[in-house]
Structure 1
Amino acid sequence: MSTPDILAALALDLGFDAVGWSAAHVPDTSVEEYARWLKHGHHAGMDYLERQLPRRADLSSSLEGSLSVLVLGISHAFEQLPPPPGGVRLGRVARYAWTPDYHEQLAPLLSRLETETAKLGGRARAYVDHGPVMERLLGASAFLGWRAKSGMLVSTSLGAFMTLAVVLTDLPLQVETQAHPDRCGRCTRCISACPTQAILPGRALDARRCVSYLTIEHRGPVPWELRSGVGDWLFGCDGCTEVCPWSMRAGSVARALRPQAELAHPDLTPFFMLSGRQFDQAYQGTPFARPRRKGMARNACYVIGNTRDPQGFSLLERAVHDPAWEVREAAAWALGQFGETKLLHRLMSDPHPQVSDAARRLYVPC
């Protein structure tokens, strides 16, 4: 068995769902396209993407002498899970977050591949969704799929619910790079499904409008004009991926990662009850650790306000006293969706100007 076949077979044995090889080369046209995307500010507050541009353009900056890349896909197309009993379980969570942090889960698998590469006489460095690497470009080059109109890499067998990892190597492999055929055709379901019109022409995304970015990476209040678009998304968004015909055709295909009902349908109550330190301890090793307590509580307020579900109202009553002004401001907006006046009147005297301004903007005297 050849060296690339040995590593590919090991990756499949470890639980990866898709495997392919690409040359360790980033075309100048792709670098220029990425630079234009950054220039227009479509990366929102993710300044590290701009800082990393030179490294993304040159894979040898991550592994000296890079010649080939093993590109790996793992599915998070989980079956639906029923919510656990009890609690205030409102809102939706993006499917990749139904399982404990996939970075930590995939790290030992990638370490095995690095070790095996060394046994075969090469050097390797692996990343999963966190290194200065254009994973989707390499995924398309490795024939795992194509960049769809949503900007996501889509596979005919796995759909769009796919997390990518890469293993850079200095193995001098004969890799035939070829583009995967575009299977989007005239379909525009992903564009139509985006609640905030974040999908741009040219198969790119404006992160400033993306619900996934707004509920995970964005710090501070979500712009008012986008809050209704957040809808019932508590964490992340699958709007463009779940409507893709290739995702629907693939069905539930995840086999390595295991979803947990408590992550798929979390109780919102702890987001308002726990201190920041208690939250960090309780949700360590889960995707919810990224936005932290006040981010999850802020998101919960938007969900409660958008759904107007009565079972969430008691949490808004607690949120008006939250130590984080961002949560109190989100609570004011949510109370306005309910037409609540008493609590809004109280928030008009809040010491933080953005909270009091939000309450005044929404307060309608009886």
Structure 2
Amino acid sequence: MMNTEQSAETLSALALDLGADVVGWADAQVPTTAVDEYTLWLAEGRHARMDYLERQLPRRADLGTSLPGAGRVLVLGISHAYAPPPRPAGGIRLGRVARYAWTPDYHDQLQPVLDRLSAEAAALGVQARGYVDHGPVMERLLGARAFLGWRGKSGMLVSTQLGAFFTLAVLLTDLPPAGEGPTAHPDRCGRCFRCAQSCPTGAIGPDRKIDAGRCLSYLTIEHRGPLPWERRRELGEWLFGCDICCEVCPWSVKAGTLARLFQPRPELAHPDLSRFFGVSERQFTREWAGSALLRPRRKGMARNALNVVGNLRDPQGWPLLLAGAEDPAWEVREAAAWALAQWGEWTAVERLRGDEHPDVRAAAERLLLERA
């Protein structure tokens, strides 16, 4: 049987062979200071409506609740720093999608990698359990402790090799902790504040804490219901997610185009917005199966599309305004009212004052009052 370090080296080598760009090991003990910081972030309400983060806190603080006897964690970094694919012909292709969503869902792509690593670990006599980012694990903390990078001022893990465009996956193991040497990658942000200065909503605080309720990624993906009124123009052309803080990072610029395991698809990088309208939730789910675009659901993507159309006022988006005003989901009709007002289509806004849903009527009334 291999000793501890031989087993660790075997698993590291296999992870690289399976497509990880960088790997590293971290002790599974979560520092008390990190738990305290996370607890304060939750207490301050910066997690917006993501209540599951509060429920998961005990498990995030103790990895032994996910894998009894957890001692060491293998952290994988996989780049999604790829160049934009060509824009497909036809359709209404407005707005921007965050780069990580240009490929089929990375959870589905990385799970087989973790399954293969778990099987190899078992063959070595090592208990293991893998997570992408859907489990109760502080991946960025572990990534920094595994020396894959440091938590930048944007809150993202930043690497001198990969920049800020990379995804993390972890393999919890019962290998004993190393318990020696430095415990985290040194900070390389220096005096740079480009990420915070570039954030359109000021979501990045001076304490490197993110206010999720102001973050464009949260608003376009996790937030349910109408978008906050004061954020709609700030969303600009972002249809799904946001890459601004990663794009402006000098380490991302220096890293350039890198992706190896993930490859973008034109239809995901430049989706046809019309495909979010005139379909049922079931049809939408079937059409976008295996894509991160499922997360906001059909009415969330239609809402986002109308916000983009309202901000850009591109003529090709006009059919979406008409479809949105008649959409069966009230959240979409509410978004249509706002977008129509940005186009100056006040007659259409006036009609929505008679909508069956009170929130749509209230939005139309507010817009007409603001016009006056």
- Alignment of 1:29 onto 2:33: yes
Deviations 1:292-343 (A, max 9, x none): 1000000001000011111101110111000000000001001111111121
Distance in 1, matches of 2:152 and 2:22, equals: 17
Q: Is the 8 A contact 2:203 2:214 kept in 1?
A: yes
Deviations 1:224-265 (A, max 9, x none): 001111110000000101100000110110110111000000
- Alignment of 1:117 onto 2:121: yes
Distance in 2, matches of 1:17 and 1:344, equals: 51
Q: Which amino acid aligns with 1:137?
A: L
Q: Following superposition of structure 1 onto structure 2, how do residues 218-237 of structure 1 map, counting pairs within 5 Å?
A: 218-237=223-242
Deviations 1:38-83 (A, max 9, x none): 0011111111100010110101000000000001110111112221
SS at 1:19 equivalent: strand
What root-mean-square deviation, in Å, do the aligned CA atoms of Structure 1 and Structure 2 show? 1.2
Aligned length: 366
Q: Which amino acid aligns with 1:133?
A: V
Distance in 1, matches of 2:177 and 2:214, equals: 41
Distance in 2, matches of 1:83 and 1:363, equals: 37
Equivalent residue for 2:157? 153
The equivalent position to 2:81 in structure 1, one of 64, 77, 80, is 77
Distance in 1, matches of 2:70 and 2:36, equals: 21
Equivalent residue for 1:297? 302
Distance in 1, matches of 2:152 and 2:18, equals: 28
Distance in 2, matches of 1:173 and 1:336, equals: 59
- Alignment of 1:356 onto 2:329: no
Equivalent residue for 2:285? 280
SS at 1:199 equivalent: coil
Runs of 4+ in 1 over 6 A off after TM superposition: none
The equivalent position to 1:165 in structure 2, one of 166, 169, 178, is 169
Equivalent residue for 2:256? 251
Per-residue deviation at 1:203? 1.1
Taking structure 1 as the reference length, the TM-score comes to: 0.98
Distance in 1, matches of 2:123 and 2:26, equals: 21
Per-residue deviation at 1:149? 0.2
Equivalent residue for 1:65? 69
Distance in 1, matches of 2:207 and 2:69, equals: 32
- Alignment gaps of 5+ in structure 2: none
Q: Is the 8 A contact 1:4 1:173 kept in 2?
A: no
SS at 1:81 equivalent: coil
- Alignment of 1:314 onto 2:319: yes
More off after superposition, 296-305 vs 176-185: 176-185
Equivalent residue for 1:52? 56
Distance in 2, matches of 1:341 and 1:306, equals: 16
SS at 2:232 equivalent: helix
Q: Is the 8 A contact 1:22 1:175 kept in 2?
A: no
Q: Is the 8 A contact 2:195 2:249 kept in 1?
A: yes
Equivalent residue for 2:188? 183
Distance in 2, matches of 1:181 and 1:174, equals: 19
Deviations 1:85-131 (A, max 9, x none): 00000000000000011101111110000011111111000000111
Equivalent residue for 2:22? 18
Per-residue deviation at 1:363? 2.7
- Alignment gaps of 5+ in structure 1: none
The equivalent position to 2:350 in structure 1, one of 334, 345, 355, is 345
- Alignment of 1:8 onto 2:8: no
Q: Is the 8 A contact 2:84 2:264 kept in 1?
A: no
SS at 2:356 equivalent: coil
Percent same amino acid among aligned pairs? 66
Distance in 2, matches of 1:44 and 1:66, equals: 31
Equivalent residue for 1:260? 265
SS at 1:252 equivalent: coil
SS at 1:228 equivalent: coil
Distance in 2, matches of 1:86 and 1:58, equals: 50
Deviations 1:143-178 (A, max 9, x none): 000000000000000000011110000012535452
Distance in 1, matches of 2:169 and 2:31, equals: 20
Distance in 2, matches of 1:334 and 1:319, equals: 9
Distance in 2, matches of 1:299 and 1:9, equals: 42
Deviations 1:335-365 (A, max 9, x none): 1111111211110100111111111222378
Q: Which amino acid aligns with 1:48?
A: Y
Distance in 1, matches of 2:275 and 2:348, equals: 21
Equivalent residue for 2:105? 101
Distance in 1, matches of 2:301 and 2:310, equals: 14
Q: Is the 8 A contact 1:68 1:175 kept in 2?
A: no
Distance in 2, matches of 1:341 and 1:23, equals: 60
Q: Which amino acid aligns with 1:261?
A: P
